[in-house]
Structure 1
């Protein structure tokens, strides 16, 4: 009996250490993966330290993309010979299937990446002669998954402009259809939203991010599926806000919903990284079969609805 008890105790000691070896191997591989990502960031080329061109001043009035080619792996082009003119005071909608290159265009406009060839110009001045900091002052970005911070609603909106007054914060929130739900919270604009905005719904977070973009008063606002997490009533309010602000700002919108793109001044159909066609909704519905098919697939409209839209 004594030998059996001793054997079992020793066996458990061996099992614990053997299991520990497995856990250490797992931790090693996790650390290896994390270090790989960390060194990728550390080894990334530093952004260009180009001096600010004195001729560039806010507000920016025009953006030109000229014969842009871009690939993430330097092999397979995501963007192919793309040329676009974007004007402040207009709404440009980008539409196309997943993987067509729409989000990459937004990344290029924000200068999160640089084109492999071609040129990007602000008011006829190349991006090569404008520092990234100066360039980005003219843009606000609202992504599909907005970044919010632990703090109050006021602090998150005011992040775009720390010197903004309470009245300006409230006005921006009203433009983004956020004021009503904010006032229903116990502490109003002083309500804590939790880490990453966990105390808010997806639609509420989206409206806070849009209010922040409006408060910044940039020359151009980039909206990536900005109505994807809101109900139809709020969507119409946001579309109305964009329409009202188009005189002060330019908007570049990635959207799939017909109601979002229909009122745009120009709709660019992106297919396989190329600009296949551009025009108003009515023009594209008459001449572009690909646009009609995309609208049908992504809005789940039947043939009868499409006929009605064409009429």
Structure 2
């Protein structure tokens, strides 16, 4: 397993020329899991949690693992209550001491789950809060916690086919309610196993990559799209980008925001590059290449 972190204490700007990283691949207890969900949890946001996934082609293993970023230790987490079925393709969301895990897929029994399971971190107790009007079971979607307490769910696979991005599903964590919203604007192509990040300053959701067909890989277009969350209904808007580097299509990658940058790392399609996408007003791409003591960025 490859496990590392990037030191983001440095400032990101258009003059960026290197990013230091530290390998943690030699740590003991690293779980060997595939397509697991992950979330940053804890009162100080210093714990990385993994949920579900598959291990060696099976699902009979530990449901949750945690990584303590302060002590650099991996542990399995014992939980109680109504334990969720282990599945993959889930994007869990952490909010005010609770972890919400929706959907997922089990490729052994072919089940798509539309259950919503909540883990209370005070007692590490699971509760199933699935409602009759919950969205259909899916995996490979994206999720985001909005400032009003709603969790946004978008896209993914339902019964092996990608679903359109013209419908946004919202779960109200305050009132335990599901609702859906039709989006405005030019809708991007449907997709699964893509990523999203929130640009809180502009109240926008930025999605990247993914595939529009699971059987024969087809990159969803446009590769990057922006959903304006400040409008009602939410509106897809066009966004011009710059930079000499044209990023590849990515699938099963990761995306995180650091300052004004979205960092895309690793993928099922391209596994040798780390990409940096500027979320500033300039919307400029940077490519980070190499795997030595430093990554070298090329505009």
TM range (shorter): under 0.3
Greater C-alpha radius of gyration: 1
Larger strand fraction of residues: 2
Greater RCO (CA < 8 Å, at least 6 residues apart): 1
